[in-house]
Structure 1
Amino acid sequence: MLGANTKSSITRRDFLAMSAKGLGTVVISYGLMGCDSDDNALYGKFNHGIASGDPAQDAVILWTRVTPEIEGEVSLAWEVATDEDFSQLVTNGSTTTNSDRDYTVKIDAVGLEPGTSYYYRFKSGDNTSVIGKTKTLPQGDVDQVKFAVMSCSNFPAGYFNVYEMAARRTDLDAVLHLGDYLYEYGRGEYASDNAEAMNRQVFPEGELLSLSDYRTRYGQYRSDASLQKLHQNVAFINVWDDHEVTNDTWKDGAENHNDGEGDFDVRKQAALQAYFEWLPIRPWSEGNHEEIYRSFKFGELVDLHMLDTRVIARDEQLNYANYIDPTSGAFNSDSFMADVTNVERTLLGQEQLQWLQQSMLESTAKWQVLGQQVLMGKMTLPAAIATQQMEIGEFAELAGLAQLAARAAAGDPTLTVDELAYLQVNQARLTPEVVAMLQLPSIPYNLDAWDGYAYEREVILATAKSQQKNLVVVAGDTHNAWANHLTDASGEKVGVEFATSSVSSPGMEYYLGIADADMPQTEAAIVGLVDDLKYTNLRDRGYMVLTFTAAQVRSDWVYVDTIKSLSTTEQTERAHSLMMKAGDATLVKP
């Protein structure tokens, strides 16, 4: 069985039968075959590199794309070996591809040994690809598992130096890519300020709407040498986020799908088809481009559950504007909290949520890891800040002024002359409207994250808590690094969350215009305002390394010094590490 990473038990016979029906054009590779030549065959080159992904204990997906010499049915072959010289072949074969699948090819190399490194390559006529390296999942006792975690790679925003740095590592078991593998925006739009100077203008020029559009953009991304190198060196385990379709996607629409852009579902299906063509992900059934939630078992140490919080079931995001009175500017917190905690409000959907609960409850692994897109930690800020009616510095200043006023009204004898003078000059700033805003409760700052879907978060935390699971959640999406305690409604710590920065997409330093000199103070202020938040980096691009042992999990945030130049080094001054010991859902420094 392939069962190491399946949602349900699928036999090889079932898998082969589905493949014969056209299952994502996956070809099953069982063993050694003779390779017949065809004098009439068409051939091509491997301009987009090679890749592997979705490892199982006895299988792995191998991927490539052939750029044809002329349009037509193109022939190619593959080889898998235990040595780099390919003298110890374990499986090989041949197949064809064509424009119907954008000349991409996926091979499900099965019959492999657990916990074993393999080399693979493709051939088409006289053209041979680079040699790739991949690894199957281990069985039984495992001393250590190590992941690189990354997300949010925007081609025009800068060079993929983060991929380049990660590709130099030789100690990774897999790369977890948590989405926004590409972006849908047109030329000159989001984060494209320096694209022309860096020769990173996007193709096609317009926003992605059709299958051809998405395929072209994937082809451009996969032409990047740094991304090719990382794919070549280590297996990827991918999930999508919103920009693989369009910004703030939910099941029936998106913020960036507008009038005149056609039917959203047609656009979504085109985007997801291109995703399955271009990523080394194992499809589940013929023509099914929507289900990607699945599990990977790294021996008895780690069970990794990859989730879809974006496409399959997400309800539309709440909007703070709907809770602010247009006349008074007052925020209706009661109505907002009723909506955000509604038990019918879904991010995962009933089927996926039940699958996750069952998987976690049946698991005997030391660590339960949820690989998904958006922040699960409670990222609440004072309502005046979350609704952008006040900036952080302004709020802190006015809150301090209100505290002075309260002390003065109570006749506090410890007030200094300077404090009284400051209060006298600024008292008028404490208008009734300002005082009302200062007294509003803290609310989520990001309703696109789990904070906008509170009920299902509580279900997951209760599931982990009921069996005393060691729960670790990893997230991307925000373009900044975070570390959170995951607390349930009663305030009890149930697990931890580690969130990675972006590969190239700008973060809060871009949106809020935070100067480098002010960054440490701003980061400290945010950590101080958010109860469960224990670390953030709001400026730097990078990735995260998670190392699991039986005793602990450790997160190391790795940053590059620039994405504006190909000449880059690791930015060590801002590097950070945190860990959680098994059995104690508390973040501590190593």
Structure 2
Amino acid sequence: MSALSRREFLATLSAAGIAPTAFAGGRGGERPGGGAGPAFLHGVASGDPLHDRVILWTRVTPKRLGDVVHGRWSVATDHKLRKVVRSGGFVTDVTRDFTVKIDAAGLKPDSVYYYRFETRGAESVVGRTRTLPLFFKKRWRMAFASCSNYPYGYFNAYGRIAARTDIDLVLHLGDYLYEYAQGEYANPALASLRDVVPSNEILSLTDYRLRHALYKSDPDLQELHRLQPFICVWDDHESANDAWRDGAENHDPENGEGEWVVRRRQAVRAYNEYMPIRSGHYFDDRIYRRFRIGNLADLIMLDTRLHGRDLQAAFKSGQSELPANDPTINDGARTLLGFDQEAWLERRLWESKMRGAQWRVLGQQVMMAQLSSTFGQSFINPDQWDGYRPARERLYRHLLDNDIANNVVLTGDIHSSWCSDLTLNPWDAAAYNPQTGAGVVGAEFVCPAVTSPGPVPDAAADTLAMQLRFVSPHMKYINLNRRGYGVLDLSHQAARCEIYHVATVDAKDERETLATVMVSEAGNNVVKSASEQAPSSPSAVNF
């Protein structure tokens, strides 16, 4: 078979719940005695840790579609699983695409654990996870990433995060997968090497399951999931490009793609099945939630896509860049989060201050800082918070009026690296001082894409970055064309962001460079360049 047809054939078998044992090997693929049995071909994962529990995930690939698979899970304090502290059984079948999610409770705070799944003589690999601290915490380090487009390149950024020993968890800020058909938004240099399954644009529940299964087959992503707990939110491509509450740019019901509400429901279900997220049920589309990292921080995850977003102004006007006085982007009745999520966020921010958390970290999808090439006279991308200016002002006013300081926003989506001050009007010298931090409500750190290409051609990237820096006093660092990931290092003294760029995504490559280190000091949200060197290159976790 060709590379594409063979991959699609195997993935189709896998998504259907049939073990392709005649074609694919792997640990756990054979029963004792030589009989073909179930396997754990998609690895293991953990996520949504709390101080006493964590979600454990896997997918069983059974021998037959009609199987009802019974198995067991166990959690231990050692990597050989000799000191088991929690265990239990599971049942899965075709109705959930043979995925397994366990909310493993009764664990100790701020502790590392190891876990494994077993069924019918097959064992999964051993995963590693950790719980959140409950009380005092001196330091916490989170990697954050987004925009991992499988056909555009190798997931070298995931591999570099997996090799680190200085990470406590991973935030994925959206575009975990992409919905496009084979050959669309793909790297032509990798044709037949990183092809997608199914080959069509994903629309149905089976399509979304197949695409998730393909991504979970990537060795770098599998290894990162095995070693670190994830906290995830979706952006648009987990459903369709430029999604909003009632539709998407890449959804055309008049061209046979059906009703948006149906497609959205299928995308949400597959996401909840395949991601280690704590959801109430498989159709649960409320993914905004909060995590407490001891007294150090509250991590507040937002949904800027599916929950409450109104139609983008660019879709209504047909323009990609809009003037600052455009009535749509200045309409106070429009919202990015939904008014219920806005109210929820305001309560969580106030509660965080009142309980004495040092930092408030917002994990969300689209750039919050103003992006303009004309000193604020127009805005380049109204899909971002710039397209919902009153909603952003309501958030900033809440922070200012209630004296809620030490705020950090972590963002993905834009396939590039940015470090910025957040302020009501960065071009108002009377209200904002980029040196002292006067007028600053928070710091925003935007991570580069894992693989997706930058927003401008490589040849123009450096020049445009300099031009944007010149007209944007609030933007302290910009890189428009490199891929990689970020690390947020929190202490009671400062929030430190490290941006790492990988050498290439066109081939498997372990090289990376530290692009910049930016710091926001406690009590002064202004973003400054750090003078200290980055931590030494970590060694791999070995077990």
TM value normalised by structure 1: 0.78
CA distance change for structure 1 residues 334 and 377 in 2, over 3 Å: closer, same or farther? closer
The equivalent residue for 1:171 is 166
Deviation by residue 1:524-561 (Cα, 9 ceiling, x = unmatched): 12211223211111111100000000000100001110
Please state how far the C-alpha of 1:458 moved relative to its aligned partner: 1.2
> Hey, what does 2:266 align to over in structure 1?
270
Q: Which has the larger helix fraction? A: 1
Determine the structure 2 residue equivalent to 1:48.
42
Amino acid at match of 1:245: S
Superposition deviation, residue 333 in structure 1: 4.2
Counterpart contact for 1:323–1:335, Cα < 8 Å: no
Aligned equivalents of 2:74, 2:209: Cα separation in 1: 26
1:505 counterpart (424, 429, 452): 452
SS at match of 2:286: coil
**Deviates further, 52-61 or 79-88:** 79-88
Write the deviation string for residues 301-331 of structure 1: whole angstroms up to 9, x where unpaired: 010000000001100101288387xxxxxx9
1:565 aligned partner, one-letter code: A
| Amino acid in structure 2 at the alignment position of 1:251 | R
Rate the CA distance shift 1:461–1:310 in 2: closer, same or farther, 3 A.
same
Distance in 2, matches of 1:582 and 1:374, equals 24
2:394 to 454, 459, 464: 459
1:544 aligns with 2:507: no
* Structure 1 position 371 matched with structure 2 position 363: yes
Cross-structure match for 1:569: 511
In the other structure, the counterpart of 1:306 is: 301
Gaps of 5+ in 2: 1-35, 426-430, 433-438, 531-543
Question: What amino acid maps onto 2:239 in structure 1?
Answer: V
TM-aligned CA deviation for residue 192 of structure 1: 3.5
**Residue identity matched to 1:479:** H
8 Å Cα contact 1:379-1:533 kept in structure 2: no
Task: Report if the CA contact (8 A) 2:322-2:380 is conserved.
Answer: no
**What count of residue pairs does the alignment treat as equivalent?**
477
Query: CA separation in 1, counterparts of 2:287 and 2:196?
Result: 27
CA positional deviation for 1:288: 4.0
What corresponds to 2:412 in structure 1? 476
Match of 2:466 among 511, 524, 545: 524
Q: Secondary structure at the match of 1:291?
A: coil
Q: Per the alignment, do residues 162 and 89 of structure 1 end up closer, same or farther by CA in structure 2, a change over 3 Å counting? A: same
Deviation at 1:75, TM superposition (A): 1.8
2:216 aligned partner = 222
Please, which of 201, 206, 209 is the counterpart of residue 200 of structure 2?
206
**2:351 pairs with 1:362:** yes
Q: Does structure 1 conserve the Cα–Cα contact (< 8 Å) formed by 2:349 and 2:404?
A: no
Is the counterpart of residue 340 in structure 1 residue 329 in structure 2?
A: yes
AA paired with 2:406? Answer: N
What percent identity do the matched residue pairs reach?
Answer: 43
Find the partner of 1:493 among 437, 440, 462. Answer: 440
**1:39-84: per-residue Cα shift (whole Å, max 9, x none)?**
xxx9510000000000001000000000001221112211100111
Quick check: 1:156–1:194 contact (8 Å CA) kept in 2? no
Please tell me whether the aligned partners of residues 482 and 500 of structure 1 are also in contact (alpha carbons under 8 angstroms).
yes
Cα distance in 2 between the residues matched to 1:66 and 1:106? 11
Q: Deviations over 1:333-389 (max 9, x none)?
A: 4761x3212111101111111111001101121000100000000112229xxxxxx
Secondary structure of 1:230 counterpart: helix
Letter of the aligned partner of 1:468 in structure 2? Answer: I
2:183 aligned with 1:243, yes or no?
Answer: no
TM-score, normalised with respect to structure 2: 0.85
